[in-house]
């Protein structure tokens, strides 16, 4: 799929120091390489490519051009997720023993979208994999299962599932669980729990930023839950770009890196393989380059 030539004009503009790539996934690698060749710093939405070898090529191009590359894992910049990261880093949570992430969309996207997105593990779980690696470290073994429960066409036409579960064994010995749904019905949820040897922290289901107003109706108290990820992660999206700009301005290394994108994607591939084989998949067997000490 050739990309529009328009963006190449922008890359030729010497007044531009850095670019944000938010195009469809199939264009990511090509655009990253073009931007790197033009000496532009790059913020690119995940994933770099649905083909790991292609992602490696793009990262190599970035390295060769000595430009900066940050990948759009916005949850790392959400105040609540960062609060937990800080408690891990300052030792107050202790050793992480258990990690649990839930990510659910309110309603499924179109079949057209589903056919092109690379599957639920690459499209949805990828964020949970990145958060898992960011908070707990590398994953050693993945087990996954899934089913198309809301609409049989999701399996038949798009070859995908709309509900998925993942079990993780981290290199540290910690355990993890992830559950995803394309069709929660009640709203968009991105909740999280990290249980440590000293304390346990939990982010709830409600996008508390949407509103803190409680409604007392007949027989019920209610809090609003947000209905999409844009509202839930408004702070995270802004924070991710702000961090990229700050890294460019101060000439420091941005994070998460292209390598983080590759590592999360390897987990998505492993999850798919596990779902198909009904076996746990060891990560070293998928790609040696993504497992760190």
Q: List binders of a copy of itself among 84-103 (CB under 8 A).
A: 84, 95, 97-98, 100
Residue 138 binding a copy of itself, by CB under 8 A: no
Q: Under 8 Å CB-to-CB from 117, ≥6 apart: which residues?
A: 25, 109, 123, 160
* Locus of tokens 């759009």: 72
Tokens describing residue 208 = 């508390």
Which residue in the set 2, 217, 250, 288 belongs to the binding site for a copy of itself (CB under 8 A)? 217
Nearer to a copy of itself, 39 or 79 (CB): 79
Q: How far is it, in rounded angstroms, from Cα 130 to Cα 52?
A: 16
Residue 237 binding a copy of itself, by CB under 8 A: no
- Shortest Å, Cβ 285 to a copy of itself: 12
Under a CB-based contact definition with an 8 Å cutoff, are residues 282 and 269 in contact?
Answer: no
> Beta 163-170 vs 281-282: how paired, if at all?
unpaired
Which residue in the set 59, 225, 263, 270 belongs to the binding site for a copy of itself (CB under 8 A)? 225
**CA torsion 166→237→243→174, rounded to 10°?**
-20
Residue 290 binding a copy of itself, by CB under 8 A: no
Residue 280 binding a copy of itself, by CB under 8 A: yes
- E strand or H helix that includes residue 90: none
- Strand, coil or helix: what is 93? coil
Q: How far is it, in rounded angstroms, from Cα 241 to Cα 74?
A: 9
Nearer to a copy of itself, 60 or 147 (CB): 147
Which residue in the set 153, 215, 252, 289 belongs to the binding site for a copy of itself (CB under 8 A)? 215
Residue 197 binding a copy of itself, by CB under 8 A: yes
Q: How far is it, in rounded angstroms, from Cα 58 to Cα 37?
A: 11
Residue 213 binding a copy of itself, by CB under 8 A: yes
Print the binding letters for residues 154-183 with a copy of itself: x by CB under 8 A, - otherwise: ---------xxxxx-x---xxxxx-x-x--
Phi, psi of 180 (to 5 degrees): -130, 150
Residues making contact with a copy of itself (CB under 8 A): 79-80, 83-84, 95, 97-98, 100, 106, 141, 143, 145-147, 149-150, 163-167, 169, 173-177, 179, 181, 184-187, 189, 195, 197-206, 208-209, 211-227, 278-280
């Amino acid at each position: 799929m050739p990309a529009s030539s328009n963006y190449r004009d922008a890359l030729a503009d010497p007044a531009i120091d850095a670019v944000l790539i938010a195009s469809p996934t199939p264009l990511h690698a090509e655009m990253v390489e073009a931007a790197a060749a033009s000496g532009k710093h790059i913020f690119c939405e995940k994933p770099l490519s649905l083909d790991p070898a292609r992602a490696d090529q793009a990262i190599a191009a970035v390295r060769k051009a000595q430009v900066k590359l940050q990948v759009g894992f916005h949850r790392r910049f959400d105040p609540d997720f960062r609060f937990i990261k800080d408690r891990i880093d300052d030792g107050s949570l202790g050793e992480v023993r258990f990690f649990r992430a839930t990510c659910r969309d309110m309603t499924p996207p179109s079949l057209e979208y589903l056919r092109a997105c690379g599957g639920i593990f690459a499209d949805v779980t990828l964020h949970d994999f990145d958060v898992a690696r960011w908070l707990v470290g590398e994953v050693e073994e993945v087990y996954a299962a899934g089913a198309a429960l809301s609409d049989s066409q999701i399996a038949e036409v798009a070859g995908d599932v709309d509900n998925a579960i993942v079990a993780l064994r981290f290199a540290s010995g910690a355990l993890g669980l992830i559950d995803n749904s394309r069709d929660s019905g009640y709203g968009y949820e991105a909740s999280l729990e990290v249980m440590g040897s000293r304390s346990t922290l939990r982010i709830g289901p409600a996008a508390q930023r949407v509103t803190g107003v409680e409604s007392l109706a007949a027989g019920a108290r209610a809090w609003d839950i947000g209905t999409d990820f844009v509202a839930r992660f408004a702070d995270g999206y802004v924070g991710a770009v702000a961090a990229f700009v700050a890294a460019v301005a101060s000439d420091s290394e941005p994070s998460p890196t292209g390598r983080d994108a590759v590592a999360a994607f390897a987990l998505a591939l492993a999850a798919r393989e596990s779902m198909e084989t009904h076996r746990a998949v060891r990560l070293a067997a998928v790609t040696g380059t993504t497992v760190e000490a």
